[in-house]
Amino acid sequence: MHKVLLPFLMSASIAIPVCAQNIASPSSYAATATQTHAEQGALASLTLAAALDLAFNANPEIAIARREVEATAGTVQQAGLIPNPELETLIEDTKRETRTTTVQINQAIELGGKRGARITAAERGRDFALMELKGKQADIRATVIAAFYDVVIAQERHRLAQASFELAQRATLGASRRVIAGKISPVEETRARVAESGVRIELAQANNELESARRKLAATWGSSHPRFERVEDPHAELPALIPLPELTERLQHSPVLQRAKIEVERRAAMAQVERSRQTPDVMLSLGAKRDEQMGRNQAVIGVSIPLPVFDRNQGNVLEALRRTDKARDELLATEVNLNMELGDAHGRLSIARMETQLIKNEILPGAKRNYEASSKGFELGKFSFLEVLDAQRTFFQAESQYLRSLAETYRAAAAIDRLLGEPFSAIK
C-alpha cells in the first residue's frame, strides 16, 4: 500500500493486546511456605525415612528446580500465542476542510510453522526442567543417605571412643592401686596416664566429627543447626552388589543421561525455530479512509511482505545447528563419564563390602577375645599393662577399621544411587 504524506502529517500506531491472558501464580511449596518439623522443635530420634521426607520437602535446591518447572509452564503458554493486531491512525494535513484521516487494523500472519516450532521448543524446555528436577531429587536423596550413615558411623565412633576412655580411666586407676601395693613399677602408672590422655584426645575428635556430621545432615533440608539428638541405626544388611551389566542397562534411564538426550531434542527444536524465521510473515491491513475535501469514505486494504534479500536469518540457523551438534557431543561425553563413574563406584562397593564382611566375621571377634582375655589376665596379675594396652589398641583399631569400611560401603552405594537416579534396592 502506497501512502503520499503532506508536509503536515501525524500518525499513531497502537498495539491491541487481545490475546493476552493473566497467569495465575503457582502454589507455594512446603520448602518456602512452612517450617519443617526439625525447625519447629528438637527430635529425640531421627529415622532415615524422616530425613528423606524433610529433605524432599524443604531442600532449597529441590525448591529451585521446582520453580524452574513452574516457569517453563509460562514459556509453553507464551509460545502458543499469536501476534497481537495493531490499530493504526493516520492524519494528513491539519486543516479540517482538507484533512484526510485513515484508521486501519494490521494483523501479522505467521508463516513457515513458526508457532508450532516455538511450542515444540518450549515443550522440550519443560521436559528438560522436569528431568533436572528428577535428577536433583535423586542427587539430594543420595546425599541424605550418605550424610545419614555418616552420622550413624560418627555416633558409633563416639560410643567407641567413650568406652575406650572409660576403660583407660579404669586401667589408670588399677595401675595406681597396684603401684601403691608395690606390685608394679610407677613407670606402668605413667604409661597408663599417657594412654588415657591420648584416648581423651580421640574422644574430643570423635565428638567434633559427630557434630560436623549432624550439621551436614541437617543442611540437606535447609537447617543451619541440627534439631535432633541422634539418628536411629536402621541395622540394615549391607548394600547388595548388583551385577555391573544390569546397572549399566539401568543407567540408560538415569536423569542425567535423559537430560542430555532431551537437550539434543531441545536444541534441534530451537534450530527448527530459526529455520521457520527464514519464511517472512505477511502483514494484512484493513481499514477506512475519510477524505474531507472530497467528502467521501474509502476502504483501505493492504498487504505487506518483507523481501528476504539480505537477512535470511542464516547466521542464527547456523548457530542453532552447531549448538545441536555440540549437544550431541555432550551426550556422548556424558554417557562415557557416567559409565566410568558407575564402574568406579561398583568397584568401590565390591571392595568395601568384602572388607567389611572380613573384618566383622574374622578380625573383630578375634581381637575382642584377645582384649577380654588380656584384661582379665591383667586383673589377675598374669599380664603386664603393656600387653593389655596392645590388645586394647588392636581391638579398637579393628573397630575403627570396620567403621571406615562400613562408611565407604554406604558411600559407594549412595554414589550408584545418584548415578542411576532411582531407588537403589540396597538402601531403600
What's the distance, CA 30 to chain centroid?
17
Measure the CA–CA gap between 335 and 326, rounded to whole angstroms. Answer: 14
Q: What is the pLDDT of residue 163?
A: 81
Arithmetic mean of pLDDT, 175-182: 79
| Residue range 77-110, pLDDT digits in tens | 999 999 999 999 999 988 888 899 999 999 999 9
**DSSP string of 318-336, one letter each residue:** HHHHHHHHHHHHHHHHHHH
- Cα dist. 141→59, 134, 316, 428 in Å? 10, 11, 40, 10
Q: What is the pLDDT of residue 311?
A: 92
Do the bridges between strand 86-92 and strand 100-109 make them parallel or antiparallel, or are there none, so unpaired? antiparallel
pLDDT at 248 over 90: yes
pLDDT band of 225, cuts 50, 70, 90: confident
Arithmetic mean of pLDDT, 400-408: 87
Q: What is the pLDDT of residue 25?
A: 41
Task: Between 171 and 34, name the one with better pLDDT.
Answer: 171
Exposure on the CB side of residue 249, measured as CA atoms within 13 A = 4
pLDDT at 392 over 90: no
Beta-bridged to residue 290, according to DSSP, are 101, 297
What's the distance, CA 116 to chain centroid?
32
State the Cα angle at 73 between 68 and 74, rounded to 5°. Answer: 100
Q: What is the pLDDT of residue 318?
A: 97
pLDDT band of 314, cuts 50, 70, 90: very high
Q: What is the pLDDT of residue 180?
A: 83
One-letter amino acid at 366 equals G
Measure the CA–CA gap between 355 and 202, rounded to whole angstroms. Answer: 24
Measure the CA–CA gap between 401 and 414, rounded to whole angstroms. Answer: 20
Beta-bridged to residue 331, according to DSSP, are none
- Cα dist. 145→25, 49, 55, 221, 411 in Å? 34, 10, 11, 13, 8
Largest interatomic CA distance in the chain: 136
Sheet hosting strand 86-92, strand order edge to edge: 9-15, 86-92, 100-109, 282-291, 296-304
Asked whether 356 and 238 are in contact (CB, 8 A), the reply is yes
State the Cα angle at 325 between 123 and 420, rounded to 5°. Answer: 65
User: Coil, strand or helix: which one is 264?
Assistant: helix
| Residue range 116-152, pLDDT digits in tens | 999 999 999 999 999 999 999 989 998 998 899 899 8
User: Coil, strand or helix: which one is 61?
Assistant: helix
Question: What cell does 250 get?
Answer: 539401568
Q: What is the pLDDT of residue 20?
A: 38
pLDDT band of 350, cuts 50, 70, 90: very high
CB atoms within 10 A of CB 427: 23
Measure the CA–CA gap between 274 and 120, rounded to whole angstroms. Answer: 13
- Cα dist. 268→234, 262, 300, 315 in Å? 47, 10, 42, 16
One-letter amino acid at 413 equals A
Question: What cell does 10 get?
Answer: 501525524
DSSP 375: H
Mean pLDDT of the chain: 84
Measure the CA–CA gap between 425 and 410, rounded to whole angstroms. Answer: 12
Beta-bridged to residue 10, according to DSSP, are 91
**DSSP string of 148-205, one letter each residue:** HHHHHHHHHHHHHHHHHHHHHHHHHHHHHHHHHTTSS-HHHHHHHHHHHHHHHHHHHH
Q: What is the pLDDT of residue 192?
A: 78
Asked whether 82 and 53 are in contact (CB, 8 A), the reply is no
Exposure on the CB side of residue 60, measured as CA atoms within 13 A = 5
Q: What is the pLDDT of residue 216?
A: 94
Arithmetic mean of pLDDT, 205-213: 93
